[in-house]
Amino acid sequence: MKRAASTLLTLALICALCATAFAAVTEITGEATEKTILKYGNVTLSVKISEFFAAGYEYGDVVAVSFLDTSLDLPLCSNYSDVDSGTAGVFARSEDEYLVLAINMGDFASTYGIANKTAYPDKSFSWSYCEGVDGPVKFTLSLKEKGGYYDDYLLHKLVYTDAREDYPGLTDSEYANFRAVTTSGMGKNKLYRTSSPVNPEHNRNKYADSALREAGVTVVMNLADTREKAESFEGYDKSYYSTINYIPLNTGMDFTAGDFKMKLAEGLRFFASNPGVYAVHCAEGKDRGGFVTALLECFMGASADEVVEDYMVTYYNYYGVEKGDERYERIAAGNIVKSLERAFGVEDIYSADLAREAEEYFAELGLTDSELDSLRANLSDEPETVTYIVRPGDCLWNLSRKYYGSGVYFGKIAEANGISSPYVIEIGQRLVIPAK
């Protein structure tokens, strides 16, 4: 795998830091209005990136940012992924003209009391100032510590390419970041994770689509797209993906947002109500896909070590980071470990009961006991028989639909349990559900 690009980038950054380490850095002021807040709460300032750098600031500096009644010390970075999940920063991205304040996988504007978002049924949105805030909001930026974040900045500067030939040591499936989830409790070849099988942006879609077909995947949770967007990608009509059952969720990147949780609940219910072979994907299969897969792994009984190990396979597939690399633990700690600890409200996932935490998390999303049972059953190895305790509202027809995909097999359950017409069952009764 080629790593020349990453090495050259590191050397260039080091040279740039040394060349200007002692340059004078001046205070900068800017402002933002509710009109300059982006979809996920990123706040665009009226400060041009070129002017900011001309004032002496460099990537890896720690910048003191003051606004309203808030003072923050934030790293200056070139992309959102240059900070850990849930961490704020000052971002000077190459594709932007102006500085942006943002939280990686979070909402800066709402978190810091600047504005609240209103989403509309047509999927448009608007921002309005929080109570007591008068716009435009003024920001003051000054140097807190020269190069104070530089080591961490370099750690986050992992580079991958979209050229298949740059990964001669990977199989096509690995290049597509496609793999079976094999953590404890998960059924064999029941759940897969992958990069997008339809979006050609990263040149992995055709490899992912072929892997889906070979694995016999039939039910997919698409975290990245609307249906219209998925169908608009070149080659969609001829893809295997177009023939299978998928739910397009188009989730945001903030795992704590109500909208993300609502859409995740839709995806989980989709898995619970559609028996099959499953896959989860976003664009790269790294952030949203990694988080949702980790939740399902926890739910099914995986250990923290297993969850982290599976998550970090993605960083090998894209960046060549292996266990034993000094970056390995820091990447895991700053991403999936932190995300799960925030989601579950625990201090340490390594000492937590992850199966219980995941079940409670799914229940908080609104999933019922019956839906949780169905989700667990659908992701498990199929036993010869299942034991089921009758709950209020159950009937043999619905149980047949749940376990066999159709209500017409209710007689099979009745026969296995010696139930004759009129097929009356009682709450608390233990039923044997035979294999279909």
Segment 42-77, tens digit of pLDDT: 999 999 999 999 999 999 999 999 999 999 999 999
Taking only the tens place, the pLDDT of each residue in 262-312 is 999 999 999 999 999 999 999 999 999 999 999 999 999 999 999 999 999
The share of the chain scoring above pLDDT 90, in percent, equals 75
pLDDT exceeds cutoff 80 at 434: yes
Query: For the residues of 345-413, what is the DSSP string, one character each?
Result: T-S-TTSS-HHHHHHHHHHHTT--HHHHHHHHHHHS---SEEEEE--TT--HHHHHHHHHSSGGGHHHH
Q: Which tokens hold the place of 250? A: 């188009």
Sign of CA dihedral 196, 213, 176, 183: positive
Position 8 pLDDT exceeds 50:
no
Tell me the two tokens of residue 402.
């749940």
The set of residues, in sequence order, having a beta carbon less than 8 Å from that of 289 and lying 6+ positions away, is 193, 194, 195, 223, 280, 281, 282
More confidently predicted of 435 and 104: 104
Query: Nearest to residue 176, comparing CAs of 159, 199, 142, 154?
Result: 199
- The whole-angstrom separation of Cα 188 and Cα 121 is 40
pLDDT at 21 over 90: no
Q: Residue 89: how many CA atoms within 13 Å on its side-chain side?
A: 24
Cα(382)–Cα(217) distance, integer angstroms: 16
pLDDT, tens digit (0-9, with 9 covering 90-100), for 298-350: 999 999 999 999 999 999 999 999 999 878 998 899 889 999 999 999 999 99
Contact assessment for residue 335 and residue 286, using Cβ atoms and an 8 Å cutoff: no
Give the residue with greater pLDDT, 303 vs 13.
303
> In this structure, what DSSP letter does residue 283 have?
S
What does the alpha-carbon distance between residue 7 and residue 301 come to, in Å, rounded to a whole number?
39
Q: What predicted TM-score, i.e. pTM, was given to this entire model?
A: 0.65
**What are 243-256's pLDDT values in tens digits?**
999 999 999 988 99
In the chain the domains, ranked by start, together with CATH numbers, are 4-156 (2.40.30.90), 164-364 (3.90.190.10), 383-434 (3.10.350.10)
* Stronger pLDDT, 387 or 225, i.e. the higher one: 225
- Could you tell me which residues come within 8 angstroms of residue 251 by beta carbon, excluding any fewer than 6 positions away? 223, 224, 259, 260, 263, 264, 282, 288
Closest by alpha carbon to 315, among 338, 333, 295? 333
At 197 the pLDDT is: 98
Residue 3 pLDDT: 41
pLDDT attached to residue 11? 42
Closest CA to 213 of 187, 242, 188, 237: 242
Secondary structure (3-state) at 144: strand
Question: What CA–CA distance (Å, rounded) separates 102 from 294?
Answer: 25
396 has a pLDDT exceeding 50? yes
Residue from 142, 143, 279, 299 nearest 211 by CA: 279
Contact 365, 255 (CB under 8 A): no
| Best CA proximity match to 433, nearest among 377, 379, 392, 393 | 377
pLDDT at 215: 97
Residue 387 pLDDT level (bands cut at 50, 70, 90): confident
pLDDT category at 409 given cuts 50, 70, 90 is confident
β partners of residue 356: none
